[in-house]
Amino acid sequence: MTEKQETPNRAYTAGSSGSIRKIFSYRELLFNLTKTELQLRYKNSVLGFIWSLLNPLLYLVVFSLVFQEILRTQIPMFAIFLLSGLLIWNFFSSSLNSGTGAIIGNASIVKKIWFPREVLPLASVGASAIHFFLQASVLILALVTFQHEPNWAAVSLLPLALLTVVVLASAGAITLSALNVHYRDVQHFLEISLLAWFWLTPIVYNYNLVADRLGNSDWIAMLNPITPVVLSFQKALHNPPEGYLPDVSLWQYLQNLALVLFVGLLLLAGSLRLFRRLDSQLADKL
Amino acid sequence: MSSKAISIHEVTKTFRVYKEQFRTIKERALHLGRIPFSEFDAIHNISFDVSEGSMTGILGHNGSGKSTLLKCVAGTLTPTAGEISVRGRMAALLELGAGFHPELTGRENLYLAGSILGLTKQEVAARFNDIVEFAELEDFVDTQMKHYSSGMFARLGFALAANVEPEVLLIDEVLAVGDEAFQLKCLDQIRRFSEAGVTMLFVTHDVDLAASICDELVVLDHGRIISHGNPREAAIDYRKNLHAQQDIAEPDSSSPTEEVNIVSVALESKARPISTVQSQEPVSLNIIATLKNPVDGLVIAYAIKTISGDLIHSSNTSLLGVNLGGIGSEIDLTFDFENFPLLEGMYEIDVGAHSLDGSTLYTQVNGAKRFTLTNPSKGAGVADLSVKAKLR
């Protein structure tokens, strides 16, 4: 006789540790939904995933034209600088964008079958992560073409930086997906917020340009949790001469990342709790 | 063994019905605190248990809360009050093919929907051929599902769910899809589940089907249990309740005098209700009627017809020598057939009550019972004449 599991369904159950266990037991579904999201994005298109490579290339051409030729930015190797920050930003913003609609977009399944619904926004993060790696090939191609040497010591920061983005994006996607069911404003609000957030992050301009103006209050620029991540990528891959990025030790970069990661984990735990609370009403509201 | 597989304890689900849905913050702010809504209990204080390996049917008219209850058990809805616990691996057939994405192929969808039901990739792969074969979709498995017909969609859905090997299976009105042959196949599968000890909770409108396959029936009316227990008695309660509500009457029933009311028409085999008749086996037609007063010279008649309405055979109590005169309140009448020499197909039975000379029609229920007949012998038409061919 096999052990049978009790699955109680009452008004309120389990905290965030319970949800993590449930999500883990549905990892196969997470994997499949991620795959489906990628499959669907380019189903019936001739160029397929090449479109996701064309997107950063187009950005590259436009921004290079505007910033290098018109605004005369002084950043050397602007293409590599731009891509270093832009790709990781794209990962973050597309996770939030598609994660927000994840539950509404799958209403038909949510209403009919029980499974941990957190899996849906997480699949959006997963699909965005795969995209990030695809787009990273453009960056690697650029590094090879321009024979640009990365800062190998700083490259060792990147796994941590990537993990930080995954945690932040997951927390954001889980929260927004559930809130969006209750308030459809969320997706519109997110759209304009992400636009502002993009320009508040040192992606097309370098960090010191802002930090120098702020003087002693340059910590304000660090309040943006994505900034330390973007800086780590720029430090590692673009590796500019002194004066463009904060001239502090890699140890300091690591500390900043670790701090953001810690905050991100708290946010993730909070988002799982919030999701649990809203979860019981999701099917009623859809 | 009879431990509880599903235990439903004082479950209530309350829905708020808003006059309008205010989804945006602006609208909420404008209507803060005075959003017009009314509350209603889709199901109210429901308690019953389903013991392991048994099959319970939930009957009820439209809007009686059947589906809400099933969704609460499945976990897609959370009850407002009360508690439900389910022991064992559960699969819910709330809608066949839920989780299938039209843009993906049948193959891709099986892996996706399989994982929604909690199967691993290996488990889907191991069952893959069985599923496709059961659904009879071997030639279309690599076609995008948007090109499938709705029947194909549902067939693949049922085939998948049938192969999940659940310990607890929830079924919501899903057998109404597909052609007759596939419905029979689904019923067969449900019987196999039953034999394999799967616990089932089964929502349906089809009283006869429910009464024939379930061990117990729960009858809901406006979110409350009005009858629970033995399928035959519960089915009668359900019919009585339907009759009591004039707006939802039996199909095409007319009772000009209201002296006699036919409350139940069922086919039985070996003392169990059935909805599929095997042509070689004995079958009983059971009719239950209620009377206001004893009726002198009352005759109850039946007519077996093809679906297109052609009469095959009819008879009545007078012809068969049963006197119904003097029976006071309830008539529980059985016509026993030794066998049913008809060819495979669907048939209907009309039932009526009239006076001995035929001058007064008390009541008539057309299409009171529809049934499927299975018969291995071949031939076209209606009658199964025993025939052999040989060369001389």
Q: With contact defined as beta carbons under 8 Å apart, do B353 and B325 qualify?
A: no
Nearest by CB to A9, from B26, B75, B117: name it: B75
The owner of tokens 């859809």 is A286
Q: Which of A189-193, B38-42, B180-184 has the lowest mean pLDDT?
A: B180-184
Instruction: State the Cα torsion A219-A270-A171-B111 to the nearest 10°.
Output: 170
pLDDT value of residue A230? 95
Tell me which residues of chain A have a C-beta less than 8 Å from any C-beta of chain B.
4-11, 26, 28-29, 31-33, 36, 39-40, 43-44, 108-115, 182-185, 279-281, 283-284
Would you state the structure tokens that stand for residue B325, as one six-digit string?
């005169």
Q: Which of A63-77, B89-103, B265-279 has the lowest mean pLDDT?
A: B89-103
Cβ separation B25–A185 shorter than 8 A: yes
Which position has the higher pLDDT, A85 or A16?
A85
Confidence of residue A270 (pLDDT cuts 50, 70, 90): very high
Three-state DSSP class for residue A232: helix
Nearest by CB to B77, from A8, A182, A283: name it: A283
Three-state DSSP class for residue B220: strand
Burial of B324 (0-12, 13-18, 19+ CB in 10 A): buried
pLDDT value of residue B178? 64
* Positive or negative torsion for Cα B204, B209, B211, B215: negative
Bridge-based pairing state of the strands B168-172 and B199-204: parallel
pLDDT value of residue A12? 36
Closest of A13, A15, A14, A278 to residue A121, by C-alpha: A278
Strands (E) located in chain B: 4-18, 37-51, 55-60, 81-87, 90-93, 168-172, 199-204, 216-221, 224-229, 253-254, 260-269, 272-274, 276-278, 283-291, 298-306, 311-316, 330-337, 345-355, 361-374
Gap between the Cα atoms of B11 and B84, Å rounded = 7
Largest Cα separation within chain A, whole Å, is 75
Gap between the Cα atoms of B348 and A93, Å rounded = 62
- What single-letter amino acid sits at B161? A
Mutate to test the interface with B, among A30, A109, A281 (most CBs of B within 10 A): A109
pLDDT at A4 over 70: no
pLDDT value of residue A177? 95
Cβ separation B75–A114 shorter than 8 A: yes
Burial of A268 (0-12, 13-18, 19+ CB in 10 A): buried
Residue of chain A nearest B16, judged by CA positions:
A284
* Positive or negative torsion for Cα B180, B184, B185, B187: positive
Closest of B252, B239, B173 to residue B207, by C-alpha: B239
Q: Which of A36-45, A98-107, B69-78, B279-288 has the lowest mean pLDDT?
A: A36-45
- Across residues B175-199, what is the average pLDDT? 80
pLDDT at A15 over 60: no
Rounded to 5 degrees, what are φ and ψ at B81?
A: -145, 155
For residue A38, give how far its alpha carbon lies from the nearest alpha carbon of chain B (Å).
12
Gap between the Cα atoms of B226 and B245, Å rounded = 14
For residue A266, give how far its alpha carbon lies from the nearest alpha carbon of chain B (Å).
27
The structural architecture, per CATH, of the domain B250-374 is: Distorted Sandwich (2.70)
Percent of chain A having pLDDT more than 90? 43
Give the number of other CB atoms < 10 A from CB of residue A46: 7
pLDDT value of residue A175? 96
pLDDT at B249 over 70: no
pLDDT at B38 over 50: yes
Q: For all residues of chain B together, what is the average pLDDT?
A: 82
pTM over 0.80: no
Q: Which residues of A touch B121 (CB under 8 A)?
A: 28
C-alpha distances (whole Å) from A276 to each of A67, A175, A279 are 46, 10, 5
Q: With contact defined as beta carbons under 8 Å apart, do B235 and B59 qualify?
A: yes
pLDDT value of residue B329? 82
Would you state the structure tokens that stand for residue A233, as one six-digit string?
């990528």
Q: pLDDT digits over B45-63, tens only?
A: 888 889 888 899 998 888 8
Tell me which residues of chain B have a C-beta less than 8 Å from any C-beta of chain A.
15, 23-26, 28, 71-88, 90, 92, 94-95, 98-99, 101, 103-104, 108, 111-112, 115-121, 167
Q: What are the start and end residues of each CATH 3.40.50.300 domain in chain B?
A: 1-89+201-249
Closest of B123, B120, B154 to residue B137, by C-alpha: B154
Gap between the Cα atoms of B261 and B254, Å rounded = 10
pLDDT value of residue B177? 64
Rounded to 5 degrees, what are φ and ψ at A139?
A: -65, -45
Q: Which of A62-66, B157-161, B300-304 has the lowest mean pLDDT?
A: B157-161
pLDDT value of residue A75? 86
Alpha-helical runs (H) found in B9-149: 25-30, 66-74, 106-116, 121-135
Confidence of residue B20 (pLDDT cuts 50, 70, 90): low
Cβ separation A5–B87 shorter than 8 A: yes
Task: Go through B42-66 and write b for each residue having 16 or more CB atoms within 10 A of its CB, e for each that does not.
Answer: bbbebebbbbbbbbbbbbbbeebbb
Would you state the structure tokens that stand for residue B85, as one six-digit string?
């616990």
Q: pLDDT digits over B63-80, tens only?
A: 888 888 888 888 888 888
pLDDT value of residue B1? 45
pLDDT at A183 over 90: no
pLDDT at A11 over 70: no
pLDDT value of residue A16? 57
- What single-letter amino acid sits at B38? S
pLDDT value of residue A8? 47
For residue B56, give how far its alpha carbon lies from the nearest alpha carbon of chain A (Å).
19
ipTM above 0.90, yes or no: no
pLDDT value of residue A10? 40
Gap between the Cα atoms of A12 and B182, Å rounded = 40
Three-state DSSP class for residue B381: coil
Query: Is B1-89+201-249 assigned to CATH 3.30.505.10?
Result: no
Give the number of other CB atoms < 10 A from CB of residue B24: 14
Measure the N-to-C terminal CA separation of chain B; round to a whole number of Å. 61
Gap between the Cα atoms of A94 and A169, Å rounded = 9
* Positive or negative torsion for Cα A189, A191, A194, A196: negative
Q: What are the start and end residues of each CATH 2.70.50.60 domain in chain B?
A: 250-374
Q: pLDDT digits over B349-362, tens only?
A: 999 888 888 778 88
pLDDT at B192 over 80: yes
- Across residues A33-45, what is the average pLDDT? 83
Q: With contact defined as beta carbons under 8 Å apart, do A73 and A67 qualify?
A: yes
Three-state DSSP class for residue A146: coil
pLDDT at B107 over 60: yes
pLDDT value of residue B2? 57
A67: DSSP letter: I
For residue B21, give how far its alpha carbon lies from the nearest alpha carbon of chain A (Å).
10
Residue of chain B nearest A12, judged by CA positions:
B78
Q: For all residues of chain A together, what is the average pLDDT?
A: 86
Task: Go through B211-231 and write b for each residue having 16 or more CB atoms within 10 A of its CB, e for each that does not.
Answer: bbbbebbbbbbebebbbbeeb
pLDDT value of residue A18? 72
The owner of tokens 């070996």 is B270
Three-state DSSP class for residue B264: strand
